[in-house]
Structure 1
Amino acid sequence: MTTRRKLLATAGLALAVTLPLAACGGGDDAGTDTVQVAVLGPGSLQWLHAIAKDQGFYDDHGVTVEDIQVQNSGSLVQAVASGSADAGIALGDNVIKAVDEGADIKITGALIQKPALRLYGAPGVEDIADLAGAQVTAGATEGGTYELMLYMLQEAGVDTAGLTPVAIANSSDRVVAMQNDQVQGALLIPPFDTLAEESGANLLGWHDDYWLETPAIVNGPWAKENPEAAAGFTRGLADAARFFADPANQAESVRVLQEYADVDETAAQAAYDFISENDIFSPDLSIAEEGLTNIAEIGAAVSGKDISGFDPADYIDDGYLE
């Protein structure tokens, strides 16, 4: 399959919607616990999840995982908060917002502890200053990822007052939007950033600091009633993080992403190189609290909202990891 055909096939994932869900949790005849996990479309956000499934790490901890693909992170967090899903792999800013609004969910581990998102310009956009007054996408048109983009632009001296944000949930669709000149700038995750570069896009910037992009989350009441299942889900991901962090497993890690995201080896290898060389993944799912604090502080910097009293511990329960 050509890169172009792969890209268009992957872009179709944006059509996925939240499925009607049955009651969650429960065991099976083999004595394992079934955990229904809400996920986004295949890509590096769920790379450790894909490794955990491929290498049998969930099985090692006595859980069987059933994926429920949802359209966007907001829907994902809502599915976990409502109990329609037991657990999920979400975006950190959506989790903070949901908990602040009263959702009983907890972060049990950190998958992506520094932004995997990088800022790209469409073909012909070679300098970050060229994005002044442009149409741009960071996924949603508000919230953490858009605030991260605004912060990066403002730090580079770009006047963001004239930006037109466009909502495009998946990086694969953002690449197509850049090719079609629908947007002139976009935040992209691996491996789709490599596909964008192959089409002439230009890397403009990256925020190199802790910023909890992707945590593992659980429904609070479910986790209390099923602590072994919550621990099995979390520890399976932790084993996957340790597997990825071991250079001896590079080829296997690349293979998993290549198959999971349906991209060629070049794109998967480039994703591995960027993520491993820059410590994007937590090496053991441990949570750096400053990753949550930085989400709040960046949001405050671009919006002026009051974050006094923000405490990252309010969102975390790492007891299932230990």
Structure 2
Amino acid sequence: MEKVVNGFSPKLFILPLLIIALILSACGKTEKTQSDAKAGGGTSKDGKTSISMALPSNNASYLPVFVAEKNKLFEKNNLEVSTTRVQGGVIALRGLQTNEFQIISSLPESVINGIASGANIKLIGTLDDQSMYSIYVTSDIKKPEDLKGQVVATNRTGNGTDIQLRWWLQNNGLEPDKDVRIVEAGENPTRLQALVTGQAKLTILSQPTDLKAEAAGMHQLSIMSDDLKTYNHNMLIANGEFLKENPEAAKGFMAAIAEATEYAKKPENKEEMVQIIMEKLEMNQEDAEKSFDFVLPALADKGKANTEGLEWAVETTKEAGMLTGEVTIEELYDDSYISD
């Protein structure tokens, strides 16, 4: 087991940047793609089960979903899947609980607390079994000790991004809210903006924002997966009623993800994968290749979650004071929808 964060004392700070407010307000929209499938796990006229899926960000980690769409693997498994881009995991989780979405992708921490509190949802798999975050700093920061007395930008106090950041700080000898001051700066783009404008010295970023950080003169201090060996980043979570009423559809969804992942990992398909990333994320070829190379080792075979990573998430969520009840791995995760 990796080191566990102790003594969290989260404090709320708001980053006073007008540009951040403007960017955040512009990001409140949702963006639908794919078919006009019905919400609620209903059956379409051609007999396919409809699934509405929420994606809380837009990055290359969703490559298995992109491949399943392009290669019609959902249709192969008698499904009509539509994807909706939402602003953050909290909105995705809210829609999952109301059955607006039948499946979402999210960091596990908020889901863990939801299940512990009685939410009728279930983890059924993952897209990747490593953390997809990296630690970025301004050019004057060379080592973790240089951060003492400085400001660090997080997403939102207590969410999965924040928990991982605080764990990294303490794992590198820095006491959160004591050795460093932690401010809330929102999603990836606004966290990067906090560094660029000098409001913070360090933040935690996922791709493709990491490439923008490098272009802006920031440098990578650490790759989270080098320190955090067990984690599941973009987990797949399903509505409980949907699972109860449509178990075969859930199995079909995971079968499509498994086949798409296997396809994406084949060396002979790399050029095609890079092209998909370029189209989906509107990237140039060089950046798409970098994103693909970063994501590829983390893609989870058959979409199966790392149970040690789930245990880590439970323990750190508890230490952060965000877990209000007790929960077991069996209550959280059901891998019966994944075929052997």
Q: Deviations over 1:253-312 (max 9, x none)?
A: 222222212222222211222223xx32212211221111011233455x3788996521
Matching residue's letter, 1:172: P
Find out whether 1:14 has 2:43 as its counterpart.
no
> Residues 77 and 45 (structure 1 numbering): CA distance in 2 closer, same or farther, change over 3 Å?
farther
Match of residue 320 from structure 1: 337
SS, match of residue 15 in structure 1: coil
Correspondence 1:111-130 to 2 at 5 A: 111-130=127-146
2:121 to 102, 105, 115: 105
Q: Take 2:206 and 2:88, find their aligned partners in 1: how far apart are those partners?
A: 15
Separation in 2, partners of 1:306, 1:25: 30
Q: Which amino acid aligns with 1:166?
A: E
Q: State the partner residue of 1:87.
A: 103
Cα contact 1:106–1:315 (8 A) shared by 2: yes
1:16–1:207 CA distance, 2 compared to 1 (3 A): same
What's the CA shift string for 1:177-233, capped at 9, x where partnerless? Answer: 322233321211122212211211111112331112111111011121122222222
Give the structure 2 partner of residue 222 of structure 1: 242
CA contact 2:117–2:325 (8 Å) conserved in 1: no
**Is contact 1:114–1:213 with CA below 8 Å preserved after alignment?**
yes
- In structure 2, the residue corresponding to 1:244 is in which secondary structure? helix
SS at match of 2:54: strand
Contact 1:11/1:172 (CA < 8 Å) preserved in 2? Answer: no
Q: Give the 3 Å change call, closer, same or farther, for CA 243–172 of structure 1 in structure 2.
A: farther
Q: Which residue of 2 aligns with 1:288?
A: 306
Q: How far has the Cα of 1:78 moved from its partner?
A: 1.6
2:256 matched to 1:236?
yes
Q: Tell me: CA distance 1:305–1:178, structure 2 relative to 1, closer, same or farther (3 Å).
A: closer
Counterpart contact for 2:131–2:232, Cα < 8 Å = yes
1:167 aligns with 2:180: no
**CA 1:229–1:264: 2 relative to 1, 3 Å:** same
Identity of aligned residues (%): 23
**2-structure distance, mates of 1:305, 1:42:** 26
Give CA-to-partner distance per residue, 1:96-144, whole Å, 9 cap, x none.
1110111111111111211001111134333333333333334222133
Aligned residues: 308
Taking a change above 3 Å as real, the CA distance of residues 210 and 263 of structure 1, as seen in their structure-2 partners, is same
Asked if structure 2 preserves the Cα contact closer than 8 Å seen for 1:119 and 1:205, the reply is: yes
Q: Which amino acid aligns with 2:212?
A: L
- TM-score under structure 1 normalisation? 0.86
1:168–1:29 distance in 2 versus 1, CA, 3 Å: same
CA contact (8 A) 1:114 1:212 kept: yes
- Picking from 7, 10, 29, the partner of 2:45 is 29
Segments of 5+ residues of structure 1 without an aligned counterpart are: 1-9
Return the letter of the residue paired with 1:271.
Answer: S
Asked if structure 1 preserves the Cα contact closer than 8 Å seen for 2:185 and 2:194, the reply is: no
Task: Name the SS for the 2:330 alignment partner.
Answer: helix
More off after superposition, 237-246 vs 99-108:
237-246
Match of 2:316 in 1: 298
Match of 1:51 in 2: 67
Go from structure 1 to structure 2 and tell me whether the alpha carbon gap of 1:265 and 1:178 turns closer, same or farther (over 3 Å shift): farther
Q: Is the 8 A contact 1:195 1:267 kept in 2?
A: no
Residues 41, 131 of structure 1: alpha-carbon distance in 2 compared, 3 angstrom cutoff = same
Equivalent residue, structure 1, for 2:204: 187
Q: Is the 8 A contact 2:56 2:89 kept in 1?
A: yes
1:274 is aligned to 294
Distance 2:42 2:288 in 1: 35
Amino acid at match of 1:246: K
Q: Which amino acid aligns with 1:290?
A: E
Structure 2's unaligned 5+ residue stretches are 1-22
CA RMSD, Structure 1 to Structure 2 (Å): 2.6
Q: Cα distance, 1:93 vs. partner?
A: 0.9
CA-CA distance at 1:80 after TM superposition: 0.7
